[in-house]
Structure formats: C-alpha cells, structure tokens
Amino acid sequence: MFKDIIDFIESNPEASYNVIIGTDSHTRDEEETCFVTAIIIHQIGKGARYYYRKNSQRKVSSLRQKIFFEAALSLDCASKVARKLSENGHSELNVEIHLDIGANGRTKELIKEIVGMVVGSGFDAKIKPESCGATKVADKHTK
C-alpha cells in the first residue's frame, strides 16, 4: 500500500495533495464492534484514492471508549503514514486526521479532549461536518 501511495504522489509531483486518515466504527451484533481506518490521498482538483483496514474487536458499548479507540487507531495509522512519506522525501505533505465527532449530538462533550489528543500528537484534526475521511469513507466500510 505504501508503495502505491508514493507512486501515486510521484506520478504527478507538481500536484497538491491532502493526506487524510479517518476511523469509524459500527457495532454489528451483541458481541462485536467493527472499526475501519481509511487512508485517503486527495489530489486536489483531480479526485482521490483510498485504502482501508477493518479491525473487529469485542463489543465496545461506551461511546466515549469507542471514540477514543477510533482516534487512537487513526493516530497510529497517521504516524506510520507520515513516517513513510518522510522516508520517501515527502515530509512536506501534511497528514490530517478526520474524527467522527461534532458540535451536535452525543459526541460534543468529547471534542476538546479528542482534538487535543490529535493536535498534541502533531496532526491537524477535523471534526464534523469537515471530517469526510471518517464520516463518509471509513463509515462506508463499517456495515
């Protein structure tokens, strides 16, 4: 996957890119929660390509615990992607993390903590409605 990402970026080095990481989850049944982390490489003005990974865990019933775990999965992935980009001469590319939280709804109390965790780790954080990496791309593959 990393080779494909680097090849995609290097196929048009004059283009501008956004690198987006987002995680979403869905509790499928009484015993399992499916977490999906997406990596999106957006070539501005030309479209995007994405990759995703599914990870099933024992059911997570606490919304707070689920959101923190989503953020932790995104941070782990973002760190690996940023390191690989840097190793391949693309440290100028900014990696942003899209979070499945927003000012409306049950997650509003978590915004300060989760965004602080992401920003404190050196990444930009986006929340709803600007967090399509989590709310659209990763969400699509949780069901």
Which residues on neighbouring strands pair with residue 58, listed in sequence order?
32
CA 114 vs CA 49, 60, 72, 125, 127: distances in Å: 26, 17, 9, 9, 10
Inform me whether the pLDDT recorded for 98 exceeds 90: yes
This prediction's pTM: 0.95
Model confidence pLDDT, tens digit, residues 77-89: 999 999 999 999 9
**Cβ atoms 70, 96 nearer than 8 A:** no
Model confidence pLDDT, tens digit, residues 33-70: 999 999 999 999 999 999 999 999 999 989 999 999 99
**Cβ atoms 33, 60 nearer than 8 A:** yes
**Strand, coil or helix: 7:** helix
State the pLDDT at residue 28.
82
What are the boundaries of each domain within the chain? 2-140
State the pLDDT at residue 127.
98
Cis bond leading into 129, ω under 30°? yes
**Cβ atoms 37, 21 nearer than 8 A:** yes
Per-residue pLDDT band for 15 (boundaries 50, 70, 90) equals very high
